[in-house]
């Protein structure tokens, strides 16, 4: 997604189409241009829509949407639960995909997407003061990137977390919000 505002849309083919549109709006206002009121407005709308679509429960995209909704609301523990489910589902998809279908599946969720989700999960753990856990997840993301020859976007945050945990031991308080990674575009 570009850093420009998602064009306004008033008609939708179905609930799934509207969910995708509102999701993009939440990502823009929460991750790209953090403006709480706009993000909360679209997040509230997304939360209502998620309950109306039968394809959402248990889907990768559904878990991503729920995590984003709870992240906007500041309910980091629920956001973590959904982000972890999303990561588990992406890993499972990678495991079960036959070699001849990898290009198609990896067009949806490749290793850079998995790394991105790990970085976001680390940020959520950082928000609840679990900096050692956040650092562990970022190291996992970094190793994944190294194995697959893709850039790792969280090095500066990883170093910051490592210096915080070595200086203070386990950090027991939440730190101010700082986006580690951008949401999937």
160-172: average pLDDT: 68
Residue 3 covered by a domain: no
> Could you list the residue range(s) of the whole structural domain that residue 143 is in?
110-185
Residue bearing the bigger pLDDT, 100 or 34: 100
Tokens of 35: 């403006």
78 vs 84: CA distance, rounded Å: 10
Work out the pLDDT band at 17, boundaries 50, 70, 90. Answer: very high
Asked whether residue 44 carries a pLDDT value surpassing 80, the answer given is: yes
Least confident window among 28-32, 66-70, 80-84, 90-94:
28-32
Picking from 101, 127, 161, the residue at the C-terminal end of a domain is 101
Mean of the pLDDT values across residues 129-144? 96
Same-domain check for residues 23 and 91: yes
Show the tokens assigned to 91. 């890993």
Do 18 and 51 meet the contact criterion of CB atoms below 8 Å apart? no
Residues 20 and 47 in one domain: yes
Asked if pLDDT for residue 116 goes beyond 70, the answer is: yes
Mean pLDDT of 110-118: 97
On whether the CB atoms of residues 43 and 30 are closer than 8 A, the answer is: yes
pLDDT tops 90 at residue 169: no
What is the C-alpha to C-alpha distance for residues 170 and 167, in angstroms, rounded to an integer? 9
User: Same structural domain for residues 86 and 116?
Assistant: no
Span 9-32, mean pLDDT?
Answer: 92
Total domains present in the chain: 2
Does some domain include residue 2?
no
Q: Is the pLDDT of residue 77 over 60?
A: yes
In this prediction, residue 6 has a pLDDT band, given cuts at 50, 70 and 90, of confident
Residue 23 CA to residue 72 CA, distance in Å, equals 12
pLDDT of 9 reads 87
Structure tokens given for 178: 């700082």
- 16 and 97 part of one domain: yes
Q: At what angle do helices 76-96 and 60-73 cross, to 10 degrees?
A: 160
Taking CA atoms, 55 is separated from 5, 38, 92, 145, in Å, by: 27, 26, 18, 31
Q: 135 and 88, same structural domain?
A: no
Residue 4 in domain: no
pLDDT averaged over the chain? Answer: 87
Contact 89, 147 (CB under 8 A): no
Run of H or E including 166: helix 155-168
Residues 154, 84 share a domain = no
Per-residue pLDDT, 3: 54
State the pLDDT at residue 181.
45
Which tokens hold the place of 1? 């997604």
Given a cut of 60, is residue 183 above it in pLDDT? no
Cβ atoms 30, 71 nearer than 8 A = yes
Cα–Cα distances in Å, from 37 out to 41, 44, 49, 185? 6, 11, 19, 21
Q: What is the pLDDT of residue 168?
A: 64
Distance between CA 121 and CA 102 in Å, rounded? 25
Determine the number of helices (DSSP H) and then strands (DSSP E) in the chain. Answer: 8, 0
């Amino acid at each position: 997604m570009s850093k420009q505002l998602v064009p306004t849309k008033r008609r939708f083919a179905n609930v799934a189409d509207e969910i995708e549109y509102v999701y993009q709006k939440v990502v823009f206002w929460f991750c790209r241009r953090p403006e709480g009121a706009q993000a909360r407005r679209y997040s509230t709308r997304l939360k209502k829509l998620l309950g109306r679509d039968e394809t959402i429960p248990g889907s990768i995209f559904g878990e991503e949407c729920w995590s984003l909704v709870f992240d906007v609301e500041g309910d980091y523990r629920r956001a973590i639960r959904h982000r972890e489910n999303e990561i588990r589902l992406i890993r499972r998809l990678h495991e079960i995909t036959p070699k001849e279908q990898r290009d198609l599946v990896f067009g949806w969720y490749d290793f850079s997407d998995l790394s991105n989700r790990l970085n976001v999960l680390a940020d959520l753990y950082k928000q609840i003061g679990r900096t050692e856990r956040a650092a562990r997840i970022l190291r996992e993301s970094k190793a994944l990137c190294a194995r697959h020859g893709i850039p790792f976007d969280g090095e500066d945050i990883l170093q910051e977390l490592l210096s915080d945990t070595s200086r203070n031991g386990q950090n027991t308080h939440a730190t101010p919000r700082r986006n580690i990674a951008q949401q999937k575009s």
